[in-house]
Chain A
Amino acid sequence: MGKRILGISSVVLMIVALYLIFVYAGVDAAQGEPFRIFYFHVPVLLLSYLSAILLGSACIMFLYNAEAKWDRAGAVAAELGLVFGGTGLISGMMWAKPIWGKYWVWWDVRLNLQLILVLTFAAYLMLRAYLPNQEKRATLSCVFGLLALVNVPFNWLAIYFVPTLQHPKPVVSPGGGGTDPDMAIAFTCSLIAWCLTYSYLFSTRLAVAQVEQEVEYLEQVVRAS
């Protein structure tokens, strides 16, 4: 029931957000039409960071009390992180092409952190895919998750300050949210819509993951007898 409300409200709010983005908010003075990607790109990116936090927390909790639900939550967070992070990267490239003239810029801090984050999610999921035993899968991917969590500050340090050794100051992503109140409303609405969508996807996927695990269990029972 709660999931249904979540699902419906996210669809509704998405439609509202689309209206606000394309009709209500004005055209950006500096960047023109391509700026509208901002309303999509930033929430999606923020949610991929949220996924990383959720994954890290799930791994810590699993280490603490080894309950399967934390393992499932971590796996779902990684999947959503991969999808949202990948979408964020692609939308970022779509934004960068008209604004900067190129798809990708090295030594942009956020772009690179994003790329590494997506690669880490992918590595986590690939590890899980090759561990058929449920307990081993949970333990080993938890350890990897923790090692990856510890990696984040070093990535930030390396990407942020290393370029200053060889190149001029790091380029910052096309930013600016505009101080125009119309844009702020559109952005807020979009952000909330995306958060609701994420929550809906997360809870649904989590429920599916639980069923998947039960099916796996039953398959093994059948095979054993």
Chain B
Amino acid sequence: MKSISSLFFKDIVVEWRNKEAVSSMFMFGVLTLVIFSYAFDPSGTDRSLLTPGILWISFTFAGIIGLNRSLAMEIDNECIQGLLLAPLSRGELYLGKVASNFAFMMIAELLMMPPFVVLNNLTFSFQIIEIIGVAVLGTLGFVSVGTILSMISAHTRMKEVILAVLQIPLTIPVILTSVAATGQILANETEGISYALMMLAGFSIVYLTASYLLFEYVVED
């Protein structure tokens, strides 16, 4: 447990120094928000149906950028080998990376919320808190898969591309469910939303467990 928190805080400090992950995620996410807002006529009346989708597409692309950054840090100078040398189980290594990936992605998402609210003419109300709540569960699912997939793609030549190719099919359930739940919140029809939340939570639990067990096969040279 102590190792996991050491790993987590190390990543926080490194990010605090170079601010590469959060800034690139935020920039890319906001740009995606803007592009999609223009692509779907801003004055159209059907916008409200598209809004949750636009939000989660931005989160997804930003998330993939973040995962790549996190991976790049460990590949630089082969630092991952230093971690493999330490008396740390491979599963603990995985959890440490999940914790920091989750933190950075959440920070980027929180930063993206104000532009999102403004560009879509929403109001800063309790709804936003609820949307962030859904985002927490969705993000956890996203990074639980993404962390192990980034380690898999690290062994290939085209790391970033392969990560996206592997990540998107596997996170479709998360994105679908999160978009639906977000849409419900925006439409003020939150009946049955607990199913969505339970599914997202279940997804995270299952993937955290599976990846924890499989991670050792993925890090070895």
**Which A positions have Cβ atoms within 8 angstroms of B?**
63, 116, 119-120, 122-123, 126-127, 130-131, 136, 139-140, 142-144, 146-148, 150-151, 154-155, 157-159, 161-166
Q: A119-B169, A150-B206 are in contact. Are A161 and B155 (CB under 8 A)?
A: no
User: B184: which A residues are within 8 A, CB to CB?
Assistant: 165-166
Provide 17 A-B residue pairs closer than 8 Å at the C-beta atoms, listed in order of the A residue. A120-B169, A123-B165, A123-B169, A130-B162, A139-B218, A140-B217, A144-B149, A146-B210, A147-B207, A147-B210, A148-B169, A150-B207, A151-B170, A154-B173, A161-B195, A162-B196, A165-B195
How many B residues, CB 8 Å from partner?
Answer: 39
Assess whether A159 is in contact with B156, with CB atoms less than 8 Å apart.
no
Assess whether B176 is in contact with A146, with CB atoms less than 8 Å apart.
no
Assess whether B211 is in contact with A130, with CB atoms less than 8 Å apart.
no
Assess whether A147 is in contact with B169, with CB atoms less than 8 Å apart.
no
Confirm or deny: B183 has a beta carbon within 8 angstroms of a beta carbon on chain A.
yes
> In the complex, given contacts A150-B207, A165-B193, what are 6 additional A-B residue pairs having Cβ atoms less than 8 angstroms apart?
A116-B169, A143-B218, A147-B211, A150-B210, A159-B176, A163-B180
Assess whether A151 is in contact with B173, with CB atoms less than 8 Å apart.
yes
User: A127: which B residues are within 8 A, CB to CB?
Assistant: 152-153, 156, 162, 165-166
User: CA A99 – CA B20 in complex, angstroms?
Assistant: 52
Assess whether A130 is in contact with B210, with CB atoms less than 8 Å apart.
no
User: B203: which A residues are within 8 A, CB to CB?
Assistant: 154
User: CA A127 – CA B184 in complex, angstroms?
Assistant: 36
Q: How far is the CB of A78 from chain B (nearest CB, A)?
A: 13
User: CA A158 – CA B203 in complex, angstroms?
Assistant: 11
User: A123: which B residues are within 8 A, CB to CB?
Assistant: 165-166, 169
Q: Closest B residue to A128 by CB, please name it.
A: B156
Q: A131-B156, A146-B210 are in contact. Are A126 and B217 (CB under 8 A)?
A: no
Confirm or deny: B140 has a beta carbon within 8 angstroms of a beta carbon on chain A.
no
User: B183: which A residues are within 8 A, CB to CB?
Assistant: 165-166
Confirm or deny: B214 has a beta carbon within 8 angstroms of a beta carbon on chain A.
yes
User: B162: which A residues are within 8 A, CB to CB?
Assistant: 126-127, 130
**Candidates A140, A142, A143, A157; contact of B173 at CB < 8 Å:** A157
User: A165: which B residues are within 8 A, CB to CB?
Assistant: 180-181, 183-184, 189, 192-193, 195-196
Pick the most buried of B149, B152, B184, B193: most chain A CB atoms within 10 A of its CB.
Answer: B152
Q: How far is the CB of B144 from chain A (nearest CB, A)?
A: 10
Chain B, range 141-197, C-beta contacts under 8 Å to A: 145, 148-149, 152-153, 155-158, 162, 165-166, 168-170, 172-174, 176-177, 180-181, 183-184, 189, 192-193, 195-196
Confirm or deny: B117 has a beta carbon within 8 angstroms of a beta carbon on chain A.
no
Confirm or deny: B57 has a beta carbon within 8 angstroms of a beta carbon on chain A.
no
Assess whether A130 is in contact with B157, with CB atoms less than 8 Å apart.
yes
Q: A127-B156, A143-B218, A147-B211 are in contact. Are A155 and B165 (CB under 8 A)?
A: no
Confirm or deny: B34 has a beta carbon within 8 angstroms of a beta carbon on chain A.
no
User: CA A164 – CA B184 in complex, angstroms?
Assistant: 11
User: B12: which A residues are within 8 A, CB to CB?
Assistant: none
Pick the most buried of A139, A142, A144, A154: most chain B CB atoms within 10 A of its CB.
Answer: A154
Pick the most buried of A122, A147, A159: most chain B CB atoms within 10 A of its CB.
Answer: A147
User: B148: which A residues are within 8 A, CB to CB?
Assistant: 143, 147
